């Protein structure tokens, strides 16, 4: 079976372009996930891996959709190969492990070199983004303009943000763990903790009245 895996880092990003390319390639089953690529403890990715068997093919649009940590990428790639699952990276045709099944030496060597280079680039890009964010915040603070990230999940939110906020509140009220809510909604644990704290503060204020 040909599996497609589409990933973006946050719940507000769009998966449509990746999904379209995976469909056009002929993927029979496409798994969609909105989660950080820093490691492979992603619930949707792990669900997909549990379904994959010898002879299956995993297709991703580019290596950064697979992951953004060099060691994690290399380790997971090796596990897939050891399980005799092929991997195709659409925007880098040389990274198609099916091409090297009958080749000894040079073909696999080229693939290994390119994979190592691209996984390093994916990790460096992630580091660059984090550094740029920190530098931007530092500059804004010196100018007195930094007020933290704009909140999108709150009781006065609109549309899908309001739906997600209400689901977080409902889940907290039935004592679901922050980790489970994070996995279910894709909202960061810090944001969920803030919402939890607000609910607790409102409850305390009400009791004092």
Q: Give the per-residue pLDDT at 134.
A: 65
Residue 163 token pair: 């739906």
Q: How confident is the model at residue 206 (pLDDT cuts 50, 70, 90)?
A: very low
Residue 140 token pair: 């804004």
What's the CATH number of domain 2-123, 1.10.357.20, 3.60.60.10, 3.40.50.1390, 3.40.50.300? 3.40.50.1390
| pLDDT > 50? residue 163 | yes
Q: How far are the Cα atoms of 31, 92, 100, 102, 184 from residue 106, in angstroms, in the given order?
A: 33, 17, 9, 11, 44
pLDDT (mean) for 1-24? 91
What's the CATH number of domain 159-208, 1.10.8, 3.40.50, 1.10.760, 1.10.10? 1.10.10
pTM above 0.85, yes or no: no
Q: Give the per-residue pLDDT at 92.
A: 80
pLDDT digits over 18-48, tens only? 999 999 999 999 999 998 877 888 999 999 9
% residues pLDDT > 70 (the chain):
72
Q: Give the per-residue pLDDT at 207.
A: 47
pLDDT digits over 179-197, tens only? 888 888 888 888 899 898 8
Catalytic residue among 9, 36, 119, 171: 9
Residue 9 catalytic?
yes
Give φ, ψ of 68 to 5 degrees: -135, 15
For the chain, the structural domain boundaries read 2-123, 159-208
Pairing of strands 2-8, 29-34: parallel
Q: How confident is the model at residue 115 (pLDDT cuts 50, 70, 90)?
A: low
pLDDT digits over 130-154, tens only? 666 665 656 655 655 545 556 788 8
Q: For residue 63, what is the enclosing H or E element? A: helix 63-66
Q: Give the per-residue pLDDT at 209.
A: 44
Q: Give the per-residue pLDDT at 144.
A: 59
More confident residue, 171 or 112: 171
């Amino acid at each position: 079976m040909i599996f497609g895996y589409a990933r973006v880092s946050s719940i507000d990003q769009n998966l449509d372009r990746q999904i379209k390319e995976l469909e056009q390639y002929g993927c029979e089953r496409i798994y969609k996930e909105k989660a950080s690529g820093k490691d492979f403890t992603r619930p949707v990715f792990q669900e997909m891996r549990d379904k994959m068997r010898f002879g299956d093919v995993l297709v991703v649009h580019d290596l950064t959709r697979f992951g953004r940590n060099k060691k994690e990428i290399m380790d997971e790639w090796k596990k897939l190969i050891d399980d005799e699952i092929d991997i195709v990276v659409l925007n880098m045709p040389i990274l198609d492990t099916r091409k090297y099944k009958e080749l000894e030496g040079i073909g696999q060597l080229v693939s290994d070199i390119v994979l190592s280079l691209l996984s390093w680039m994916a990790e460096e890009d992630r580091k660059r983004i984090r550094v740029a964010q920190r530098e931007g915040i530092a500059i804004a603070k010196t100018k007195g303009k930094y007020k933290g990230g704009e909140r999108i999940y709150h009781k006065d939110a609109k549309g899908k943000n309001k739906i997600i906020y209400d689901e977080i509140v409902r889940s907290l009220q039935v004592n679901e763990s922050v980790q489970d809510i994070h996995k279910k909604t894709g909202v960061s644990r810090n944001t969920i903790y803030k919402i939890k704290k607000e609910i607790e503060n409102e409850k305390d204020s009400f009791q004092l009245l």
